Chain A
Amino acid sequence: MFAYYFELALRSLKRSRGLTLLMVLAIGFGVAASMTTYSVFRAVSGDPIPWKSSKLFVPQIDMWGPKARDPNGDPPDAMDYTDAMALMRAHRARYQSAMYQISPSVVPANASKHPINVSGHAVFSEFFPMVDVPFKYGAGWTADDDTQRSAVAVISSKLNDKLFGGQNSVGRTLDIEGKDYRVVGVTDHWNPQPRFFDVVNTGGFTDGAEDVFLPFNRAIDVGMPNNGNTNCNEVPKESGFVGLQHSSCVWMAYMVQLDDAAAVQAYREYLDGYARDQQKAGRFGWAPNNRLRDVPAWLDAEHVVPSDTKVSLLVALGLLVVCLVNTAGLLLAKFLRRSSEIGVRRALGAQRSAIYAQFLTEAGIVGLAGGVLGLLLTGVGVASVGWVMPKDIASLARLDVSLLAITLLVAVVATMLAGLYPTFRASRVQPAWQLKSN
């Protein structure tokens, strides 16, 4: 029976080629615009570490007080040195690491080559197991290296390719800012987007690399300055990087791993207790106002998905709706034109369900054709989205099987929905009236 309806639909569509083409084009463009913007939205709103994001938390401490809170009453979204170090010393979470952005220069062993500038983070040893950094060679450094302030480094495979020709460089030395560091690990193509562990300094999405990780205490000791944002509510009393460490300026990211609800609750209580102690000591003149958000909530609070991406998606969806309304109008005209044909079929015993099947098949075929066109246009759209969206975000948009499947599905389902009312009207055609008027 379906084959018969299929043939009928093709015939009917061929009869008015212009109208058919118009519907297919409208569906194709509408679906392609929506899917292209959706591919970008999907890329930026995804979970960068889905297997663990609900266990990773970002603590915020209210070290500036009520005057500096944002409109939601939130404290600063970064950490000052004093409080970050207090939290590190207390060591209340399964894993924890304070971190700050660095941008040191690496001097290649080959004297004829220019020094190169690399970017990365100064972190504690627990950072590596906490955020599941994949290693190609070696591993992160140990807690002993943290306390002994060892001159060790973890580098990216890209930097490893550049400096050591891609060989296993574990144990070899590296000249960073004129000092030797021993390579203990090489990361394996690690580029999480958004940079959930340091949203404040990267803005979430970045085309910058994480080329080098150094022990936090070591970086502080050698005075390796912070290359990220620094926010102050008052001017530091002392100058230089040491002055920054003694100030209330916030310039560090902080992350902890808490494995279950009890641990989360305990950590919350610890943070509040810490703030109360500071209040008692006279450092904070206000009641505790801390935050502890897991990664998805943190990304949401930091607005990492650009509002442009959302607005684009909404406007494109609006375009799709207009295309569907357009298609509904055209299908209605097309179906009702065949009232006499429907009348004959009904008079010969066809049931309403048969009429439904016939016309929804026709709508489905239009949707499928529109979907195929939409697929092609979505391909073009995703490939060229870099023209209209920031490169670091556009480059994340991918054309994969699931996107292709969604495109076709949206096209067919949406067109059949658009065809529902016209089909309903077609099924209501009175056979007697049609036969008489002929």
Chain B
Amino acid sequence: MNIQIRPILIALRRHKAGTALIALQIALTLAIVCNALFIIHQRLANLSQASGVDEANVFVISNQWANADESTSQVDAQVRADLLALRQLPGVLDAAPASGYPLQGGGWDNLVTMTLDQVKPTTDAAVYLGDEHFINALGLKLVAGRNFRPDEVSVVGTQQNITPATVIVSKALADRLFPDGKALGKSFYAMGTTPSTIIGIIDPLHRQGVDLSSNRYAGQSLIWPLRSADVRGIHYIVRAKPGQLAAAMREAPKALLAQSRMRIIDPKDGIQDYAAIRQKVFETDRGMAVLMAIICVVLLAVTAAGIVGLTSFWVGQRRKQIGVRRALGARQRDILSYFLTENLLITGGGVLLGLLLAICMNLWLMLRFASQPMPMAYLIVGVLLLLVLGQGAVLAPALKASRVPPVEATRSV
């Protein structure tokens, strides 16, 4: 099929403004859609970050103490009694004390150095405190080394500073500190005056936070063998037996209150399963993805409708000329391809401008909002999307044009 581009260009010259407006609209749409798709993909990628936790069976109890003037040993006695009670529940597989938990939304992190007198820290690690049950209670996967022994676990009071001699680290942290893969048995400093020796490696173990600064040190965390006896409160991590999560979540607070009533477990979010924790921590990401998706859909719909509207109008305007062409021997598909090609040219022009705008917009977002550079793939997807959208939108009016009978040539306007 021989497509005549020259006549199309000559015809478009008579609609300079209309053509330019449609092309501009396509360019802006492409720029916004590319960047929005990029934002959506980044946010969705966040949503699926692995925590390392056995999320189907684990829940967290946030327990605050009602009497703040108890001594460390009194609090620890209560913590140990609580844990014993929790572990004895029929639906519970294991329970552990914790100062924080993965995907909590924010928490404790320490700078890491290889030597004591190092000025610039090597990296940063999220800090978890737990006992010998911690790994099993969260359902974490130990890929090398061993778990803590009960005799390695010590008690830590309110804002007390203890640097244990042993530490279990996430594989991400181990690889960052010891790229040769031989982290086991090596030691490092995490803002303490004594080093901690790596005895075990977990993979993966998410940090508490999901924000930008956490993502810079993604997956880098450490566990210290410390049982928190903070007068302000403690988290209990409880792992239910498979299928018994709901029952365990009902029974656990009763068991704790039977131990002592001088505690506060928030009725709203004092007990959360991992579905709720994940939901909450990624709320912003999910919301942003949904918002960008809505805007993309509206944007594409408006642009498609605009193409349909304007092309329909042009077809109506050129009925007589189409009739003349048909009378002179043009086939229906020649007319059809005329309009499809015309749209391809306009969209093509718009897309070229749009690519430039999309890159500018991304650069500007990087400058102002610390966004990431957008990979080429988004531009390619955006361009294809708009070319298909343009052809799809122009199809109906173009088909209508192709059905204009040759007899139209003989009619006056």
Measured CB to CB, the residues of A under 8 A from B are 18-19, 22, 25-26, 29-30, 33, 37, 67, 103-105, 107, 114-117, 177-178, 222-225, 227, 230, 232, 234-236, 239-241, 243-244, 306-308, 310-312, 315-316, 318-319, 321-323, 325-326, 328-330, 332-334, 337, 387-391, 421, 425, 438
* 328-384 of chain B: CB within 8 A of chain A: 365, 368-370
Of B21, B192, B266, B284, the residue contacting A328 (CB under 8 A) is B21
Across the interface, do A388 and B290 meet the contact criterion of CB distance under 8 Å?
yes
Residues of A within 8 A of B157 (CB): 239-240
Across the interface, do A330 and B306 meet the contact criterion of CB distance under 8 Å?
yes
Closest to B28 in A: A322
Residues of B within 8 A of A227 (CB): 232
Q: Does B324 contact A (CB under 8 A)?
A: no
Of A22, A223, A240, the residue contacting B306 (CB under 8 A) is A22
Q: Does B259 contact A (CB under 8 A)?
A: no
**Closest 9 A/B residue pairs (Cβ):** A115-B66, A329-B21, A388-B287, A239-B160, A326-B306, A388-B291, A333-B313, A177-B68, A307-B369
Closest to B68 in A: A177
Of B32, B231, B261, B294, the residue contacting A322 (CB under 8 A) is B32
Closest to A437 in B: B413
Residues of B within 8 A of A223 (CB): 68-69
A231 to chain B, nearest CB (A): 11
Across the interface, do A240 and B261 meet the contact criterion of CB distance under 8 Å?
no
Across the interface, do A67 and B232 meet the contact criterion of CB distance under 8 Å?
no
Residues of A within 8 A of B39 (CB): 311
Q: How far is the CA of A438 from the CA of B316 in the complex (A)?
A: 17
Across the interface, do A26 and B284 meet the contact criterion of CB distance under 8 Å?
no
Across the interface, do B64 and A318 meet the contact criterion of CB distance under 8 Å?
no
Q: How far is the CA of A312 from the CA of B370 in the complex (A)?
A: 15
Residues of A within 8 A of B292 (CB): 315
Across the interface, do B160 and A26 meet the contact criterion of CB distance under 8 Å?
no
Across the interface, do A107 and B28 meet the contact criterion of CB distance under 8 Å?
no
Contact digits for B47-65, partner A, Cβ 8 Å, 1 yes 0 no: 0000000000000000011
Across the interface, do B159 and A240 meet the contact criterion of CB distance under 8 Å?
yes
Across the interface, do B159 and A177 meet the contact criterion of CB distance under 8 Å?
no
Query: Knowing A115-B66, A117-B266, A178-B68 touch, does A387 contact B290 (C-beta < 8 A)?
Result: yes
Main secondary structure of the interface of B (DSSP, over half): helix
Q: B interface, how many residues as a size bin?
A: 35 or more
Residues of A within 8 A of B161 (CB): 235-236, 239, 243
Across the interface, do B36 and A240 meet the contact criterion of CB distance under 8 Å?
no
Closest to A312 in B: B291
Q: How far is the CA of A325 from the CA of B303 in the complex (A)?
A: 10
Q: How far is the CA of A232 from the CA of B161 in the complex (A)?
A: 12
Residues of A within 8 A of B288 (CB): 308, 311-312, 388
Q: Does B242 contact A (CB under 8 A)?
A: no
19 contacts between A and B (CB under 8 A): A18-B312, A22-B309, A33-B294, A103-B232, A115-B66, A223-B69, A235-B161, A235-B193, A239-B160, A239-B161, A240-B158, A241-B158, A318-B28, A333-B309, A333-B310, A334-B313, A388-B294, A390-B283, A438-B413
A283 to chain B, nearest CB (A): 20
Across the interface, do A29 and B298 meet the contact criterion of CB distance under 8 Å?
yes
Q: Does B73 contact A (CB under 8 A)?
A: no
Across the interface, do A107 and B66 meet the contact criterion of CB distance under 8 Å?
yes
B285 to chain A, nearest CB (A): 9
Residues of A within 8 A of B67 (CB): 105, 177-178
Closest to A325 in B: B25
Q: How far is the CA of A328 from the CA of B21 in the complex (A)?
A: 7
B115 to chain A, nearest CB (A): 15
B367 to chain A, nearest CB (A): 12
Q: Does B264 contact A (CB under 8 A)?
A: yes
Q: Does B10 contact A (CB under 8 A)?
A: no
B409 to chain A, nearest CB (A): 17
